[in-house]
Amino acid sequence: MKQILVTGGTGYIGSHTAVELQNAGFEVIIVDNLSNSSLEVLDGIEKISGIRPAFEQFDLVEADKVDAFFAKYPNIEAIIHFAASKAVGESVEKPLLYYRNNLVSLINLLECQLKYGVSNIVFSSSCTVYGQPDELPVTENTPRKDAESPYGNTKKVNEDILKDTIAANPAIKGIALRYFNPVGAHPSALIGELPLGVPANLVPFITQTAAGLRGELKVFGNDYDTIDGSAVRDYINVVDLAKAHVIAVERLIYNKNENGYEIFNLGTGQGVSVLEMVHAFQMATAVKLNYKIVDRRAGDIEKIWADTTLANEELGWKAETGLEETLLSAWNWEKRVRGME
Ligand code: NAD
Ligand code: WQD
């Protein structure tokens, strides 16, 4: 069985990807320092897939620990690197924490790839690298803009670190996946997104409001140049997203990639407004959502959605799950976490 290192594998996207990798016959080894996730996630992965992945708890910033890991596991065929700090607002307050965690982790992994002969890496990038694009939808060739936060900048710089390292070392191949807005949970409701504290992201805020943990959803802005004045994003189902990682890993392992370094947008190709999200949630769940329109949130862009042609044609991957089904999965997960079932 081919071994895949999944860093950040007890996190939101990593846990769903661990399930899909195991379903596809890969052996998963998770590394996570549990800074933003918990060990119980392994139970969820095991219940869904029937397999408990190997787990090593350490901080990828510590170079000696990363080295010792690769010495212990000499047969790893590919790395999927999810581990990172991801709170945009916190990154503005604590830029050094973000630069150290997100940049040093990747550098440590790449150095070990060279030392231990691990050829393949898939990196979690983000549509944040596009900022507010001049033209929509965005293709992979749409120019990147200056990042609006230290977090966003770590994605941009990490893409460059990966590209430059691969250019200098053809033994390494890599794929950067630029996620749009990942949402939803596994249909089993056994794993999902579990933000600490008050959620900054829209869907966890919606489900927590519906569950009664928050009084009302604040819709940030209704004066954007969009269908109904609220901001527009491309919300991608997390299981669909996870499946793209299995395809990316197979592409690298079986040498189907054309270039040493490749980039793919992962989204649905559809822009959806915040108010459309609210209505879709109400339709999907029959739960009425208390919401109020307030001022725009600082740092938000107006609208973005993906051109997914490259991922559709080159990877043979397409977002499949409908928005209401996705929002229902998020609600079922919230209800399970809150003991409402
Ligand atoms: P998450 O916080 O749920 O998962 C990340 C995991 O990495 C956590 O379990 C955390 O404990 C772990 N981690 C962080 N730093 C670590 C370190 N130094 N050593 C070991 N483990 C560490 O986040 P997620 O939403 O699953 O995101 C996964 C990746 O996708 C991140 O790189 C994120 O930046 C990227 N991404 C996320 C989104 C999104 O909206 N969720 C969008 C675009 C890109
Ligand atoms: C979506 C929309 C909000 C909360 C962030 C990161 C980005 C990427 C994905 C990692 C926006 C609106 C939200 C609320 C609201 N992450 N909203 N009320 O800002 O598109 O992207 O996560 O790479 O880098 O910046 O996602 O879920 O925060 O917001 O009206 O309580 O919902 O204004 O229009 P965003 P989000």
pLDDT, tens digit, 9 for 90 and up, residues 187-197:
999 999 999 99
In this structure, the number of other CB atoms found within 10 A of the CB of residue 57 comes to 12
For the domain made up of 202-233+269-335, give the CATH fold: UDP-galactose 4-epimerase; domain 1 (3.90.25)
The string of DSSP codes covering 89-129 is HHHHH-HHHHHIIIIIHHHHHHHHHHHHT--EEEEEEEGGG
Residue 44 identity (one-letter amino acid): G
Amino acid type, 114: L
CATH 3.40.50.720 residue spans of the chain: 3-184+235-266
**What is the identity of the amino acid at 221?**
G
Decide: pTM greater than 0.85: yes
Q: How far apart (Å, rounded) are the C-alpha atoms in residues 270 and 306?
A: 7
Tell me the CATH class for 3-184+235-266: alpha beta
List, chain by chain if needed, residues with CB within 6 Å of any ligand 1 atom.
8, 10-14, 31-37, 59-61, 82-86, 101, 105, 124, 126, 179, 181-182
Between strands 181-183 and 235-237, the pairing is parallel
Quick one: tokens of 27? Answer: 């052996």
Q: CB–CB of 59/65 below 8 Å?
A: yes
What's the pLDDT at 341? 77
d(CA 113, CA 70): 9
Residue 78, helix vs strand vs coil? strand
Predicted confidence (pLDDT) per residue in 240-263, tens digit: 999 999 999 999 999 999 899 999
Q: Cα–Cα distance between 97 and 11 in angstroms, integer? A: 19
Total Cβ atoms within 10 A of residue 213: 14
- Name the CA dihedral angle for 103, 106, 110, 112, rounded to a multiple of 10 degrees: 110
Q: Which of 12, 98, 151, 235 is catalytic?
A: 151
* pLDDT for residue 175: 98
Q: Where in the chain is the domain with CATH 3.90.25.10?
A: 202-233+269-335
Asked, as a colleague might, if the bond just before 137 is cis with ω within 30 of 0, I would say: yes
* Cβ proximity of 261 and 174 under 8 Å: yes
Kindly give the distance from the C-alpha atom of residue 226 to the centroid of ligand 1, in angstroms, as a whole number.
30
Distance CA 202, CA 215 (A): 14
Annotated catalytic residue 254: no
Q: What confidence tens digit (pLDDT) does each residue in 4-42 have? A: 999 999 999 999 999 999 999 999 999 999 999 999 999
- Taking alpha carbons only, the member of 328, 82, 41 closest to residue 190 is 41
pLDDT tens, residue by residue, 95-144: 999 999 999 999 999 999 999 999 999 999 999 999 999 999 999 999 99
| Pairing, β 272-273 against β 232-233 | antiparallel
Q: Which residues line ligand 2 (CB under 6 A)?
A: 86, 88, 126, 128, 152, 181, 200-202, 205, 217-220, 231, 233, 274, 297, 300
According to the model, what pLDDT value does residue 65 have? Answer: 99
